[in-house]
Amino acid sequence: MSETGRNDVSLILMQGSPEAQATVDLLEQEDPELVIADHGTFWKITSPTGHIEVDMRRLSEELGNEISLHQWLVIMSSYIGRVKTDPYTFTLTSDVTEIHRS
């Protein structure tokens, strides 16, 4: 699908920090299908497959120091898609997330 396809998801990161640069570097290594656009003050990272995952453990290795999901969220300015998180990962997907009823 094109960059505006129904399954596309996008992650918008502010530029200018080691965390943002490390995220772009890591995602570029892990998924060559990602489209990474440099807009000067921010990066737009788009997945035509409908899935982007940022693993804080792998990102910490890339950075050379520990980063938590809460710290990482500071550089993320926006997203297009559905978000799932756990203590170590931020996942952006085009899938319908599970609905739990009590």
Report how far residue 74's alpha carbon sits from residue 11's, in angstroms, rounded to the nearest whole number. 13
Q: Which residue has the tokens 């570029």?
A: 28
pLDDT digit string (tens) for 72-89?
999 999 999 999 999 999
What's the pLDDT score for residue 102?
Answer: 53
Query: Residue 9: helix, strand or coil by DSSP?
Result: strand
Instruction: Look up the pTM and report it.
Output: 0.85
pLDDT at 99 over 70: no
pLDDT digit string (tens) for 15-68?
999 999 999 999 999 999 999 999 999 999 999 999 999 999 999 999 999 999
What Rg do the C-alpha atoms of the chain give, in angstroms? 13
Write down all domains in the chain, each with its CATH number in brackets.
9-93 (3.90.56.10)
